[in-house]
Amino acid sequence: MTHKVRLILARHGQTDWNAQRRFQGKTDVPLNEAGLNEAKALAERLKNWPFDVIYASPLSRALKTAQIISEVNVNSGSIKVCNELEEMGFGIWEELSIHEVIKNFPGQYEAWKDDPSKMIPPGGESFKEIIGRVKPVLEDILNGQNREVLVVAHGGVIRAIVASLLGLSPSGIWHMRLDNCGLVGLVCKDEQASLLFWNDALHLHVPFELIDKLPII
């Protein structure tokens, strides 16, 4: 890669399982009403950002968020759906709340939260596997011709992308909060990446009519 790529990563809007603090993983849970409103606020925030392309997970909570953004963005081209951007699999933890996992699998949740690179939910994916899975998508983005790229995906996948680009430890990246419809920004050039911002969610905390006054970074 010899040219500069600005890479914006967006987490999908809220689902009922997010609100209930349930592990979703690869289970295809749709946006709830709050999530649709969050996606609309995010779209308003991004409507004038000069995206050349939008990459999205095929899971409906992320793809619907991407579609809402694309419908109002004045610059974006088509949405490129990539299976590699699906959320990490949580195996038998999926559908369970955090409380249920703590109750039914003593010590496992605490070990996973402390360092997900060392604790893998039974039947789930390791963080190393997620980093390997997203690598082809990153290579496509960084070695392609697009300069302004939006990726709409999931908390685990976004953390894997950032950890891969910045060389961060799995335990460290999982201690960084990322809200529904929060934004992460990076600039990548000459095999180097720099973090511009993390979990920018101002668009969720101002009146809708003021969202387009927020800055384009």
Q: Pick from 126, 155, 137: which is nearest to 84 by CA? A: 137
How many angstroms separate the CA atoms of 160 and 45, rounded?
24
Catalytic residue flag (residue 175): no
Catalytic residue flag (residue 154): no
Out of 86, 87, 94, 125, pick the active-site residue: 87
**Residue showing tokens 């946006």:** 31
- Decide: helix, strand or coil at residue 98: helix
CA angle (12 as vertex; 149, 148 as ends), nearest 5: 5
31-to-14, 28, 62, 87 alpha-carbon distances in Å: 6, 10, 8, 15
How many angstroms separate the CA atoms of 85 and 55, rounded?
9
Quickly count: other Cβ atoms within 10 Å of residue 25's Cβ. 23
Report the catalytic residues.
Answer: 12, 87
